[in-house]
Structures are given as structure tokens and as C-alpha cells.
Amino acid sequence: MSLYNELKRRKVFQVAVAYLVAAWVIAQVADLVFDNVGAPPWVMQIFMFSVAVGFVLAVIFTWAYEVTPEGIKREGDAEVDEAFQHEQNKRLYIVIIVLLAVAILLNLANRPWTQSSDVQPETEQSAATSQADESSDSQSASGEFVPEQSIAVLPFIALTTSADDAFFGKGVAEELLNALAKFPTLKVAARTSAFSFASEDVDLREVGEALNVAHVLEGSVRRSGDRIRITAQLIRAEDGFHLWSETFERRFADIFQIQDEIVEELSRVLQIRLGVGAGAGRAADRQVDPEAYELYLRGLDLWWTRDVTGHRVRAIEAFMQVTELDPGFADGWATYGSSLALSGPEFYPHLEPGSALDVMSAAFNRALEIDPDNARALAGLVYFHVNRQIDIPAAGRFLQKALDVAPNYGFTRYSAAQYYFSVGDQERSTRALKRAILADPLNQTLRRIDFQHESAFGRYPADSPILTHLESCTSIDCDTGHWLLAWAAMAGALHAADHTELRRMRDIFQRVYEGRGAEEYDPEVYEFLMAYADSILGEGDAEYWNNTDFLASNAVGIMSSDASVLARHGRSEEALAILEDVAREGRFFASRGVPYVLWPGRFEIPEHIRRDPRYHEIWTLPGMPEIELARRANGLAAGLPLPVE
């Protein structure tokens, strides 16, 4: 008899299959139990080793022994009739089928049945899917539910006293964060919120609660000469249990390979434990100039502290130098283009007047030539074509691809909100911005813009957390962040023209300004908004609006909104001049000048300006007709041109 037939006769195959299926089922249950009791990793390793040894013993036992009606006997001494063997085989098959059914049920129970809630620019979703997704998000924001498929990446700690290593540790962590944002079903806390926890002795439970994440990735970096060592560890925030830890040591020039290895290992761990699917790090098919990459990380560090005087200018200059040092580095071009698009002319004095838009466009195009799926470039182009060189169809196409490539990237969500805001889609704009805030709950800039959007929509949020935050600061400890929030709150109250809220915001605005006054804040913005508030409340000085030298400036601070105020006070020529300048710069939808002028309220452009031929000329500039068409299609006619009389 052949070996195959003998193995089949002695039921070795059937027993082996039954054992493996049973072992898989038991392993799933054991993994769940060990996780819940906080067992160390070696317990699971011993368990799996025991299962492997048991498999070998089971096969040997099945080969050597036979089950008979009289009991277990050595195979050579056993005499079993055919009917008994048939009954045994039947029972064994039943056991295998039952175990397979249990295995399938366990697999289905652990599968993440999440649906993407991305609001696509050219397609519609069912209401049921949108509502279910928003319900899940609101649960997370309230702290009632922490999604298991969620992670925060903390800045990696430098193990030397070098200031260079400090910003390098932040840069490595940010690169890993951006790579993880490409996992479709993984919620990744954004940089601003995650990096607010930069202490070595941070309480991970506090991180999990504040950012509403279940897991934390932290680590350290040490550089010595041209060598670098990076240690990364994945930790469960609830109890500090270490799920994975690894140390990588390479030449500094191989930094991208290290990042890829970390992401690949994380992908494997997250797939096993969370079922989030495979992910990919940056493409490591070429070397990036080490000097350029270090300067790039330094620029990122400056960019994220851009409210500090001079940091934004230095960051932009650093990104420009990166593109010169390594013209083949896609992220260098993408970051240079994005930083320019998000900044006003005063922050890039190195560019020739009138050349900025061409430089931005060239930077984005170069980034996509090198890496067609570069998330930063795609999201940056959405913002660019909404705020600077207006092209709504192009912005929609880039948004579609950005959502496909990196759906959880914070800049993508923010750019999506800007896109929908510009075309007058209130629901989608609100949803995109709320999702950005869910990923970055401690980002005051996002909360400020959310406040502005809600105010523009006629939903002035009197109970907003930012107002509570403002009321808690005194004139001494109010900083630049408070000033920007106070400016947004004041503008929102003016647009709503709610006298009670306007008086409340005027008091807060005054207290914040008096803290540091003209030394740090813009006295012209303060004077303009306070005068407008007084005029609404019937307490103003009419002579203020006759100050030609002051009102002739188009840099008062809230740009197109200033024009509406001037027009309401009989200064139509100055109003039209401001609107023309703003439109030529493509700044109607920039975050510092939220276009209240195109939403019903006190800042809406008055009717006599909307009938002026010069205002009609503005709406013939590139990109503006498409915005008008989209807004009318969404049922919004506020601020749009009216027939000339």
C-alpha cells in the first residue's frame, strides 16, 4: 500500500485538519483573553509553541494508534471492521465542519465593517451612510466611544542634547504619521494635537482620552556621526500594554528605508490586531540628499510654530532651499508650494512681485511629476485652486484623488472644507471640517475656522468652546492664539448682529487686545472692528468713517468683509477698490478673510454694490463664473451680482 493511502487509512489527514482548525479557533480566543488580562507577549509565544508541539504529537499518535470498539490499541494489533471505521470517519468530518463554522464566525466577528464617509466632490452618498458615519464621529468626539482602529503618533524623543536631534525626532514622527494616514480605516490623530504631548513622562491614558485614540506610537532617536538609531513602540493607551517594539539602526542616508520598515512592521501588527489592512510608507526607491532632508525637517518644525515672529518666513525659505539641494525630492516641492499657498505676500519677500502664483503652480506640478500620489501636493492643489488661482473643476478633481490616496490626512480634510465652503455646500463643508477637528481636536486654528464657517452660515455658535476659552484668559496671559480667536469671534458676532453677543464679544476683544496692544496685535483691525460694533449698537462716532487716510488702505485685516462695511457707510469707491484687489489675488476664500460677503448677514455685500458694473467685472475674472454657478446651483444667491440698473 502506498504511503498516501496508508496515511489516509490511518486518518492522519483528517486528524491534522481537525487539529489545525481547532488550534486556530483556540488561538483567537486565547489572544482575546490574554489582551484583556494584560498578559505579556511571551505568554502567547509559549502558547503557540505548545500548539506546534501538540500538532506533531497528534500526528504521531494517529499514525501509531487506532481507536477500536475495545479502546485504543497499537495500530498493528488493532482489528476494526469497516462499519466502525465508517462511523468514526463520519464523526470526524462532523467535528471538522463544526470547527470550520466556528472559525468563519470568529473571522466575521473580528472583521472591521466600516464604511468610508468621504464626501466625494463629484458623487453623492446615501443619507443613511452619511448619518451613520456622523453618528459614529459624534460618539467619538463626546468621549463615549473610543474607536479601536485609532492611533496617535507622539514626537520621538531625542536621546542627545542636540537641538538638531530635537526637531529631527519631531520630523520622523510626522513622516510616520503621514504614512499611517494612508490606511483607509485607521483614525490617525493629526500632528498639532498629537505633538502637544511632547513630554518624556506623558501619561498615555491622558493622551488617549484627549485625542480619543486607543493606541499610541512613541519612540526615540539617537544620532552619532552618520549613524542613526530609531526605537519605535506601539502601546495600548488604556493600560500602557506594549503591543510591539523594535529598534532600527542604519546610516542616516537610509532614513527613508527605516521609515518604510517601521510602517511595514506596524502594518503587519495593525492588520493582525485591528484588521485595518495593509499600508505603505513613502517610496524608498531613491536616495534623498541627507542635507536636504535635514533642512526639510527643520523647515517643518519652523512651519508648525509659524505664529512666532519670523518662523513662517524662515520655514518657506528652508523649503525653497530643499528644492534647490535635491530637485528630485517630491515632498520638498509639495511643502514649498503648500506653504506659499497658505501665506500672504509678506511671508515670501524672496519672490519677484507678481510671480508667486506661477511659483506655487510649478512647485505642485513638479511634486506630482516625481510622485503622482503625493498627498501633500494633492491637498495643496485643492487649496491653491480654491484660494489663489481659482479653478473649481480642477480643485474638485484634485480633491477626489487626495481623498483616494490619503483619506485621513488632516490637510485633505481641511482643503475639502475650503472647497465645499467656496461652492456654497454648507452640509459637506461642515462635515469635512468636523472630521478634521475629530482628527485634530486640540488644533485651535481648525476650531477658529469652524466658528467662522458656522457664523457665516447664520448659526452663530454662542456656546462654542472657543468663547469659553477666550473668557478664561486675562489681559496679561492672552497670547497670539487668543487674539486670532477673539478676532474670529468678534467678526462672527458682527455678522450675526446679535446685540447681546456683540456686547459680550466687544468686551472680550477689548480685554485680549489690551493685554499686549499694538506691540503684538494689529491696532487697525482692532479699531475697525470696534468702530463697526459701535455703529451697529448705535454708539459709534460717525467721524471715524470719514478718515480717508485710514479707510483707503486695503490691508485692514478682514479684506473683503471690510468692503461691505465701507459700502454701508457710503464709501463705495474704497469698497470696490478693496474687492478688486482681493479678487485679483484670488483671496476671496482665504481663511483670514472668511467671505461673509457671500452669506446673508451684516457683512453681505449690499445691493447697490452688487449692481455696480465694476462688481460685475470682478465676477468675470478667471474662476469666478464657476463659483457663481456652483453657489447658485446650491441655492445661494447672497452677495452675487444683481442686474445693473
Q: For residue range 446-471, what is the model confidence (pLDDT) as tens digits?
A: 888 899 899 889 888 888 888 888 87
Residue 62 has pLDDT above 90, yes or no: no
Please give the residue that has the higher pLDDT: either 37 or 305.
305
Distance of CA 66 to the CA centre of its chain: 62
Share above pLDDT 90 across residues of the chain, in percent, rounded to a whole number:
24
Q: What is the C-alpha separation between 22 and 25, in angstroms, rounded?
A: 5
Residue 129 has pLDDT above 60, yes or no: no
What does the radius of gyration of the chain's CA atoms come to, in whole angstroms? 31
State the pLDDT at residue 144: 45
Count of C-beta atoms within a 10 Å radius of residue 358? 12
- Upper half-sphere CA count for residue 356 (Cβ side, 13 Å): 22
Please give the residue that has the higher pLDDT: either 79 or 239.
239
127: pLDDT confidence band, cut at 50, 70 and 90?
A: very low
Q: What is the mean pLDDT of residues 66-73?
A: 60
- Flag the least confident range among 161-170, 383-392, 530-539, 629-638: 161-170
Count of C-beta atoms within a 10 Å radius of residue 242? 11
Please give the residue that has the higher pLDDT: either 368 or 387.
368
State the pLDDT at residue 262: 80
Please give the residue that has the higher pLDDT: either 287 or 561.
561
Residue 547 has pLDDT above 70, yes or no: no
Count of C-beta atoms within a 10 Å radius of residue 152? 29
114-128, 399-413, 453-467, 603-617, range with greatest mean pLDDT? 603-617
1: pLDDT confidence band, cut at 50, 70 and 90?
A: low
State the pLDDT at residue 607: 95
Q: What is the C-alpha separation between 40 and 37, in angstroms, rounded?
A: 9
> Which residues on neighbouring strands pair with residue 158, listed in sequence order?
221
427: pLDDT confidence band, cut at 50, 70 and 90?
A: very high
Q: What is the mean pLDDT of residues 330-356?
A: 92
- DSSP structural state of residue 72: E
Please give the residue that has the higher pLDDT: either 331 or 57.
331
Q: What is the C-alpha separation between 469 and 478, in angstroms, rounded?
A: 10
How does the average pLDDT of the chain come out, rounded? 78
Q: What is the mean pLDDT of residues 541-558?
A: 59
Residue 497 has pLDDT above 70, yes or no: yes
Residue 343 has pLDDT above 70, yes or no: yes
Grid coordinates given for 234: 506601539
List all residues 6 or more positions away from 55 whose beta carbon is below 8 Å from its beta carbon: 16, 19, 20, 23
Please give the residue that has the higher pLDDT: either 338 or 553.
338
170: pLDDT confidence band, cut at 50, 70 and 90?
A: confident
Long-range contacts of 65-70 (CB under 8 A, 24+ apart): 66/10
Q: What is the C-alpha separation between 179 and 195, in angstroms, rounded?
A: 16
Q: For residue range 269-288, what is the model confidence (pLDDT) as tens digits?
A: 776 665 554 444 444 445 77
DSSP 459-522: ---TT-HHHHHHHT--TTT--HHHHHHHHHHHHHHHHHT-HHHHHHHHHHHHHHHHHHGGGTS-
- Flag the least confident range among 117-121, 150-154, 385-389, 499-503: 117-121
92-101, 278-287, 539-548, 625-634, range with greatest mean pLDDT? 625-634
State the pLDDT at residue 269: 74
Residue 294 has pLDDT above 60, yes or no: yes
Grid coordinates given for 346: 509678506
> Which residues on neighbouring strands pair with residue 110, listed in sequence order?
none
Residue 122 has pLDDT above 70, yes or no: no
134: pLDDT confidence band, cut at 50, 70 and 90?
A: very low
State the pLDDT at residue 136: 36
State the pLDDT at residue 374: 93
- Amino acid code (one letter) for 74: R
84: pLDDT confidence band, cut at 50, 70 and 90?
A: low
State the pLDDT at residue 516: 64
Residue 372 has pLDDT above 70, yes or no: yes
Residue 159, burial from CB neighbour count under 10 angstroms (0-12, 13-18, 19+): middle
Strands 187-188 and 157-158: unpaired
Helices (H), 111-158: 127-142
Do residues 586 and 552 make contact, with C-beta atoms less than 8 angstroms apart? no
Q: What is the mean pLDDT of residues 149-157?
A: 88
Comparing C-alpha atoms, which of 497, 535, 527, 536 is closest to residue 509? Answer: 527
Residue 36 has pLDDT above 50, yes or no: yes
Do residues 339 and 315 make contact, with C-beta atoms less than 8 angstroms apart? yes
Share above pLDDT 70 across residues of the chain, in percent, rounded to a whole number:
75
276-280, 327-331, 351-355, 459-463, range with greatest mean pLDDT? 327-331
Helix (H) or strand (E) holding 230: strand 227-236
- Give exposure, 43-66, as e/b (b: 16+ Cβ within 10 Å): eeeebeeebeeeeeebbeebeeeb
State the pLDDT at residue 324: 96
